[in-house]
Amino acid sequence: MNTSTMNEKRTPKAQDLIRRYMIEGERRFSNYWWATITFIGSTGFVLTGLSSFFLFDLVPFVSSKNIVFFPQGLLMLLYGTLGLMLTIYWTLLIFWNVGGGFNEFNKKEGFIRIFRWGYPGKQRKLDFSYSLKDVEAIRVEFLQGSSSLSLDQRRTIYLCLKGKREIPLTGVGEPLSLKEIEKQASELANFLQVSLEGL
């Protein structure tokens, strides 16, 4: 066998030395869905409230004669306005992709890079770098809600650094299954050649 071929097999490729995990942030399907539903519902409430004030049917399937402006129409107008404000806020979060970014683990150059998008301003880009030599372990944390079907369950992967610093690697509110968390954490611990805690 040719010695050059043997060297090629032994030398790891650049892609084997760099791992990048994308973090979805606010651009999740669930956020698009709820922003759309909230917009449709709140627009209906606003139009119904205005219909009761002007005594003119702005919504074809709702008769303004059946709704008195005070207090029903006024309350619908208020709830609809609050819903539209929530929709605008939600849309801006999606547009800015708050919390989105990536985690990069670079064995080739010996660093870890944590990048996240924040709110507009001076600290819109949150970009942190750490040395691979400072990594002590990968830790998985499972926080169970008050019941087994609870929606407030939290599964987080932490990067444990020297000095008892812990950096969360999973996105806020990112719904990862138990299997995905275990797989990602074990892959990362193997790649960085550090211990895996919490499993």
Q: What is the reported pLDDT for 104?
A: 96
Element (DSSP H or E) covering residue 20: strand 18-23
Q: What is the reported pLDDT for 140?
A: 93
Contacts of 163 (CB under 8 A, 6+ apart): none
**∠ at Cα 28 (86, 155), nearest 5°?**
105
Q: What is the reported pLDDT for 16?
A: 81
Q: What is the reported pLDDT for 50?
A: 92
Enumerate domains of the chain plus CATH numbers.
Answer: 3-24+100-197 (2.30.29), 31-96 (no CATH)
Contacts of 40 (CB under 8 A, 6+ apart): none
Query: Can you list the residues of the chain whose pLDDT is less than 70?
Result: 1-15, 144-153, 173-175
Return the percent helix, strand and coil in the chain, to nearest 5. 45, 25, 30
Tokens of 122: 């001076």
Q: What is the reported pLDDT for 142?
A: 82
- Residues 102-159: pLDDT tens digits? 999 999 999 999 999 999 998 899 999 999 999 999 999 887 655 545 455 678 899 9
CA gap 102, 180 in Å, rounded: 17
